[in-house]
Chains A and B, each alone.
Chain A
Amino acid sequence: MTGRSDSPNQVVKAEKPSGRAIVFVIDDDVSIRRSLANLFQSVNLDVATFGSAQEMLQGNLPEVASCLVLDVRLPGLSGLELQTELAKLNLHIPIIFITGHGDVPMSVKAMKGGAVDFLTKPYRDQELLDAVVAATERDRKRREVETTVANLQSLFETLSPREQAVMKLVAAGLMNKQVAAELELAEITVKIYRGRVMKKMGARSLADLIRMAETLGICANHAE
Chain B
Amino acid sequence: MTLTSLYLHTQFAPTAIGYLEMILVFSLMGSLIPSAMLLILPFAALAYFFAPPTFNNDPQDLPVVVAFLLASIVGTHLIGKVRREREVALEAAAGLRRSEAELRDVEKQWREIFEHNPVMHFMVNATGMVLNVNTFGATQLGYAPSELVGHSVLKVFLEEDHPFVRERLGLCIETVGQSHTWEIQKIRKDGSVLWVRENAKAMQWAEDKLVVLIACEDITERKRTETALRRSEAHLAQAQELSRTGSFGWNVATGEVHWSKETFRIFQYEPSTKPTPQLVVDRTHPEDRAAVRETIDRAFQNEEDFEHEYRLLMPDGSVKHLHAQARAIRTASGDIEFVGAVTDITAAKQAEQQLRRSEAYLAEAQHLSHTGSWSWDVHRLEFVYRSAEVDRLFGFDPQEAVSIETIRSRIHPDDLPGVQEVPRRAIEDKGGHFEHDFRILLPDGAIRRIHSVAHAVVGSDGNVSELIGTHMDVTEQHAARERLERALAALHESEQRFRDYAETASDWLWETGPDHRITRFSEHTSAAGILATRVVGLLRWEIAGDVEAEPEKWRQHRATLDARLPFRDFIYRTITRMGSPIYVRSSGKPFFDADGNFLGYRGVSTDITASIRADQAERELRKAQAELAHMTRVTTLGELTTSIAHEINQPLAAIVTNGEACLGWLGRETPDLSAARCSVEWIIEDGIRASEVIRRIRALAKKGEIEMVPLDINDIVKEVIALLTRELVSHRVSLRTELEPTLPMILGDRVQLQQVITNLVINGIEAMQTVKDRPRELVIRSSQDDMGRVQLAVTDCGVGITEDDADRVFTPFFTTKSSGLGMGLSICRSIVEAHGGSLSIARKQEPGATFQFVLPLHKEVVS
Contacts of B660 in A (CB 8 A): 39, 42, 125
CA distance A35 to B664 in the complex (A): 12
Known: A35-B682, A75-B729. A41 touches B649 (CB 8 A): no
- Once the chains are docked, how many angstroms separate the CA of A222 from the CA of B682? 63
Residues of B contacting A: mostly: helix
Which residues of chain B from 645 to 676 have a CB within 8 Å of any chain A CB? Answer: 646, 649-651, 653-658, 660-665, 672, 674-675
Q: Is there a chain A Cβ closer than 8 Å to B679's Cβ?
A: yes
20 pairs, A vs B, C-beta closer than 8 Å: A4-B678, A29-B654, A31-B685, A32-B650, A32-B657, A34-B654, A35-B657, A35-B661, A35-B686, A36-B657, A38-B661, A38-B662, A38-B678, A42-B660, A42-B665, A42-B672, A43-B664, A75-B729, A121-B649, A125-B661
Closest to A33 in B: B654
Do B674 and A38 touch (CB < 8 A)?
Answer: no
Assess A41 versus B661: contact at CB under 8 Å? Given A4-B675, A31-B686, A125-B656.
Answer: yes
Take A73-B729, A75-B732 as given contacts and tell me if A42 and B686 are in contact as well, using a CB distance cutoff of 8 Å: no
Residues of B within 8 A of A (CB): 646, 649-651, 653-658, 660-665, 672, 674-675, 678-679, 682, 685-686, 689, 729-730, 732, 734
Tell me if A223 is interfacial: C-beta within 8 Å of chain B: no
Contact A31:B689 (CB < 8 A) given known A39-B661, A43-B664, A121-B649 = yes
The CA of A1 and the CA of B730, in the complex, are separated in Å by 36
Tell me the smallest distance from the CB of A102 to a CB of chain B, in Å. 12
13 further A-B contacts with Cβ under 8 Å, apart from A42-B664, A78-B732, are A31-B689, A32-B657, A35-B657, A35-B658, A35-B682, A38-B661, A39-B664, A42-B661, A42-B662, A43-B664, A75-B734, A122-B653, A125-B661
Per-position 1/0 for A112-147, Cβ under 8 A of B: 000000000110010000000000000000000000
Residues in B with CB closer than 8 Å to A34 are: 654, 658, 682
> For residues 20 through 67 of chain A, which have their beta carbon under 8 Å from a beta carbon of chain B?
28-29, 31-32, 34-36, 38-39, 41-43
Chain A residues with Cβ below 8 Å from B678 are 4, 38
- Among the listed B646, B654, B657, B734, which residue makes an inter-chain contact with A100, where contact means beta carbons less than 8 Å apart? B646
Q: Which chain A residues lie closer than 8 Å to B662 at the CB level?
A: 38, 42
Q: How far is the CA of A38 from the CA of B732 in the complex (A)?
A: 28
Q: How far is the CA of A175 from the CA of B47 in the complex (A)?
A: 247
B682, A31: Cβ atoms closer than 8 Å: yes
Q: Among the listed B649, B650, B657, B689, which residue makes an inter-chain contact with A38, where contact means beta carbons less than 8 Å apart?
A: B657
- Top 6 A-B residue pairs of the complex, sorted by shortest distance between their CB atoms: A42-B664, A31-B654, A35-B657, A35-B654, A38-B661, A125-B660
Task: Please give, as numbers and ranges, the residues of chain A lying within 8 Å of B651 by CB-CB distance.
Answer: 31
Contact between chains at A38 and B729 (CB < 8 Å): no
Inter-chain contact A1/B657, CB cutoff 8 Å: no
Q: Interface on A for B, CB 8 Å cutoff?
A: 1, 4, 28-29, 31-32, 34-36, 38-39, 41-43, 73, 75-76, 78, 100, 121-122, 125
Cβ of B415 to closest chain A Cβ, rounded Å: 75
A38-B653 in contact given A1-B672, A75-B732 (Cβ < 8 Å): no
Give Cα A156–Cα B682 distance, bound, in whole angstroms.
Answer: 55
| A76 and B732 alpha carbons, distance in the complex (Å) | 7
Distance to closest chain A CB from B775 (angstroms): 10
Take A1-B674, A121-B653 as given contacts and tell me if A73 and B730 are in contact as well, using a CB distance cutoff of 8 Å.
yes
> What residues of chain B lie closer than 8 Å to A122, measured between beta carbons?
649, 653, 656
Contact B682 A38 (CB under 8 A): yes
Residues of B near A125 (CB, < 8 A) are 656-657, 660-661
Point out which of B651, B653, B656, B729 has the most chain A C-beta atoms below 10 A from its C-beta: B653
Question: Which of A34, A35, A39 has its CB near the most chain B CB atoms (within 10 A)?
Answer: A35
CA distance A125 to B732 in the complex (A): 28
Q: Known contacts being A1-B674, A31-B651, A125-B657, is A38 close to B686, with CB within 8 Å?
A: no
> Closest CB of chain B to A94's CB: distance in Å?
20
A27 to B734, CA, bound (A): 16
B642 closest partner in A (C-beta): A101
A41–B646 Cα distance when bound, in Å, is 25
Known: A31-B686, A35-B657, A75-B729. A42 touches B675 (CB 8 A): yes
What CA separation (Å) do A100 and B734 show in the bound complex?
21
Q: How far is the CB of B654 from chain A (nearest CB, A)?
A: 4
Closest to A43 in B: B664
A22 to chain B, nearest CB (A): 17
Chain B neighbourhood of A78, CB < 8 A? 732
Query: Are B675 and A1 in contact, with the CB atoms below 8 A?
Result: yes
Q: Closest B-chain residue to A4, C-beta based?
A: B678
Say whether A100 contacts B686, CB under 8 Å.
no
Minimal beta-carbon separation of A113 from chain B (angstroms)? 19
A34 and B658 alpha carbons, distance in the complex (Å): 8
B674 and A31 contacting across the interface, CB-CB below 8 Å? no
Distance A75 CA – B728 CA, assembled complex (angstroms): 9
Query: Which residues on A sit within 8 Å (CB–CB) of B730?
Result: 73
Complex-state Cα separation, A73 to B674, whole angstroms? 33
**Cα A204 to Cα B196 with chains together (Å):** 165
What separation, in Å, do the CA atoms of A121 and B657 have in the docked complex? 12
Which residue from chain B places its CB closest to the CB of A37 in the assembled complex? B661
Residues of B within 8 A of A76 (CB): 734
A73 to B728, CA, bound (A): 11
Contacts of A73 in B (CB 8 A): 729-730
Contacts of A31 in B (CB 8 A): 650-651, 654, 682, 685-686, 689
Chain A: minimal CB distance from B663 (Å): 8
Within the complex, the shortest CB–CB distance from B411 to chain A, in Å, comes to 74
In angstroms, Cα B658 to Cα A122, docked, is: 14
Chain A hits for B663, CB < 8 A: 42
Nearest CB to that of A101 among chain B residues?
Answer: B642
Q: Is the CB of B649 within 8 A of A100?
A: yes
For the complex formed, measure the closest distance between the CB of B172 and the CB atoms of chain A, giving whole angstroms. 133
Kindly report which residue of chain B lies nearest to residue A32, judged by CB atoms.
B654
Q: How far is the CA of A202 from the CA of B670 in the complex (A)?
A: 49
Closest CB in chain B relative to A76 CB, distance in Å: 8
In the bound complex, what is the Cα–Cα distance between A19 and B672 (angstroms)? 24
The listed residue (A1, A32, A43, A75) touching B653 by CB distance below 8 A is A32
Q: Which residues of A contact B661 (CB under 8 A)?
A: 35, 38-39, 41-42, 125
What residues on B are CB-neighbors of A43 within 8 Å?
Answer: 664
CA distance A125 to B659 in the complex (A): 10
Decide if B675 touches A35 in the complex (CB within 8 Å).
Answer: no
A36 to B674, CA, bound (A): 17
C-alpha spacing A121/B646, complex, angstroms: 10
**How far, in whole Å, are A184 and B730 apart by their CA atoms in the complex?**
64
Complexed CA–CA distance, A42 and B675 (Å): 8
Which A residue's beta carbon lies closest to that of B668?
A42
B676's nearest neighbour on chain A, judged by CB, is: A42
Task: With both chains docked as a complex, state the minimum distance between the C-beta of B660 and any C-beta of chain A, in angstroms.
Answer: 4
A35 to chain B, nearest CB (A): 4
B664 adjacent to A28 (CB under 8 Å)? no
Residues of B within 8 Å of A75, CB to CB, are: 729, 732, 734
A32 to B653, CA, bound (A): 7
Contacts of A100 in B (CB 8 A): 646, 649
**For B689, what are the chain A residues with a Cβ–Cβ distance below 8 Å?**
31
How far apart are the CA atoms of A42 and B660 in the complex, in Å? 9
CA separation between A22 and B646, bound complex, in Å?
28
CA distance A222 to B651 in the complex (A): 60
A34 to B675, CA, bound (A): 12
Give CA–CA (A200, B490) in the complex, Å. 112
Nearest residue in B to A78 (C-beta to C-beta)?
B732
Contact across chains for A35 and B653 when beta carbons are under 8 A apart: yes
Measured CA separation A78–B730 after assembly (Å): 10
A-chain residues with CB within 8 Å of residue B655 when the two chains form the complex: 35
A38 adjacent to B672 (CB under 8 Å): no
Q: A31-B686, A73-B730, A125-B660 are in contact. Are A38 and B646 (CB under 8 A)?
A: no
Chain B proximity of A120: nearest CB distance (Å) = 12
Write the nearest CB–CB distance from A49 to chain B, whole angstroms. Answer: 13
Q: What CA separation (Å) do A122 and B649 show in the bound complex?
A: 9
CA distance A124 to B693 in the complex (A): 24
CB distance from A79 to the nearest CB of B (A): 12
User: Does the CB pair A38–B679 fall under 8 Å?
Assistant: yes
- Shortest distance in angstroms between B67's beta carbon and chain A's nearest beta carbon? 188
CA distance in complex: A38, B662 (Å): 8
